[in-house]
Amino acid sequence: MAKRSVRDLDVKNKRVLLRVDYNVPVSKEGAITDDKRIVETLPTIRYLLENNAIIVIVTHMGRPDGKVIESLRLDKVAQRLSSLLGKPITKLNSVVGPEVTTAVANAKPGDIIMLENVRFLKEEKTGSEELAKQLSALADVYVDDAFATAHRPDTSVAGVPQFLPSAAGFLLQREIDILETVTTSAKKPFIAILGGAKVSDKIGLIRNLLAKTDAVLIGGGMAFTFLKAKGYGVGFSLVEEDYLKVADEIMNEAKSRGTRLLLPVDVVVTHEIRDGSSHRVVDIEEIPADRIGVDIGPETIARFTAEIAKAHTIIWNGPMGVIEIGAFAEGTKAMAKAIAANTDALTVAGGGETASVIDSLGVQKGFTHISTGGGAFLEYLEGKQLPGIEAIDSAD
């Protein structure tokens, strides 16, 4: 069901409660190391400013579990947003209460107020109706531009829209539109490239994609669970023993559906996962018993690249190897470059590690869309209903 867009919501001269996801990575020194999630919300904020709205920003950082943690205060986030907009931001030290009520009451059109980390309140994670009403009382309308938290039934995400007219911001709307296209009307051939450590994290995703794609390409640590399920020796490589049967079921399901499930045919192995450790490429039939698989090999890269080149729709989530070690990141880098080179395809990537590799290579423009969501991206592709999207008013 289509959701109402911020363009279809009357925001002119209104107080707008804007839910964003500014859960950005921060260095040990407290500096923001990647402001992508902030930058992606700027079109919505600028649109609201053009309409003389008073903007009250609700967001979170980290997992403080209902406690005030000084390092997770949002001052640094407010400063970065202010710098990007070239406009002052009033950062408050509370989420609700007299300080907040007074600041919002005294705000003028064009002002931006940022509330403190909403996860400092335990009620944020409990679906508190009282907190939802307190936040709703601050505004005339609600705009959600936080796709990365759309899979959470948090109070500020799914509760507040019950009490205010609501709409999706431009970022959330773009995420919905792209993923809806991918899951309902993808142009064939349609392939999915999945990596990362664990099969257990992606069982639902794989099964849902088997019904939609022409091929699923599997790399990363999760590939070794599939390889062991097929009877290969995998040495000390990461294997989820409890999921060998599931992996076998998935391979059988792929076969019965006629969906090709491609696993590595060669891998990079090492005796120790550290910088400078000796490593070599071996066929999957020849993985030594005392070695660990840490990346896909050149023959696998060639086969996966050939699939990418002929695809018209591509989804990618998860690295092909241990990308923290440069020597074991070659497979992941090759996927990023190959996907970016297919300019005729609809290409969508999601997940923090995947996005960081794309950014490091400077190939962002080669992708149709790089999702700001991790868990939300995966759950949407699994076919799950996301509370943050379901709560938004439907389009007229």
pLDDT reading at 342 higher than 70:
yes
Is 198 among the residues known to form the active site? yes
Give the integer Cα–Cα distance in Å for 376 and 150: 6
Instruction: Name the CATH architecture for the domain at 178-382.
Output: 3-Layer(aba) Sandwich (3.40)
Q: Which of 3, 4, 14, 37 is catalytic?
A: 37
User: What is the pLDDT averaged over residues 360-384?
Assistant: 93
Residue 243's pLDDT is 96
- In sequence order, what are the residues at sequence separation of 6 or more whose Cβ sits closer than 8 angstroms to the Cβ of residue 268? 279, 280, 281, 293, 294, 295, 296, 297, 321, 327, 328, 330, 331
Structure tokens at 118: 């909403």
**pTM score, two decimals?**
0.92
* pLDDT value of residue 1: 59
Query: What's the chain's average pLDDT?
Result: 96
CATH for 6-169 (3.40.190.10, 2.60.120.580, 3.40.50.1260, 3.30.429.10): 3.40.50.1260
Tokens 């040495």 correspond to what residue?
235
d(CA 143, CA 329): 39
| Residue pair 38/81 in contact by the 8 Å Cβ criterion | yes
Catalytic pick among 110, 127, 375, 383: 375
pLDDT category, 30, cuts 50, 70, 90?
confident
pLDDT tens profile 244-263: 999 999 999 999 999 999 99
Q: Nearest CA to 182 among 29, 315, 86, 319?
A: 315
Report how far apart, in Å, the C-alpha atoms of 368 and of each of 26, 120, 316 are: 27, 36, 12
Q: Is 37 a catalytic residue?
A: yes
Both tokens of 111, joined, read: 């002002």
Catalytic residue among 110, 204, 352, 383: 352
Beta carbons within 8 Å of 267's beta carbon, 6+ residues apart: 223, 237, 281, 282, 284, 287, 293, 294, 295, 296, 297, 300
Q: Where are the domains of the chain?
A: 6-169, 178-382
Structure tokens at 30: 């407290």
Give the pLDDT score at 374.
87
Do 13 and 52 touch, CB atoms closer than 8 A?
yes
Instruction: Examine domains 6-169 and 178-382 and report if their fold is the same.
Output: yes
pLDDT digits (tens, 9 = 90+) for 199-238: 998 999 999 999 999 999 999 999 999 999 999 999 999 9
Residue 170 contacts residue 145 (beta carbons within 8 Å): yes
Q: Considering 198, 230, 260, 337, which one is annotated as catalytic?
A: 198
Partners of 67 in the beta sheet?
none
Percentages (nearest 5) of helix, strand, coil residues in the chain: 45, 15, 40
Other CB atoms closer than 10 Å to residue 1's CB: what's the count? 7
CA 202 to chain centre: 14
Q: Tens of pLDDT along 268-282?
A: 999 999 999 999 999
Mean pLDDT, to the nearest integer, of 48-75? 96
Element (H, E) at 105: helix 98-106
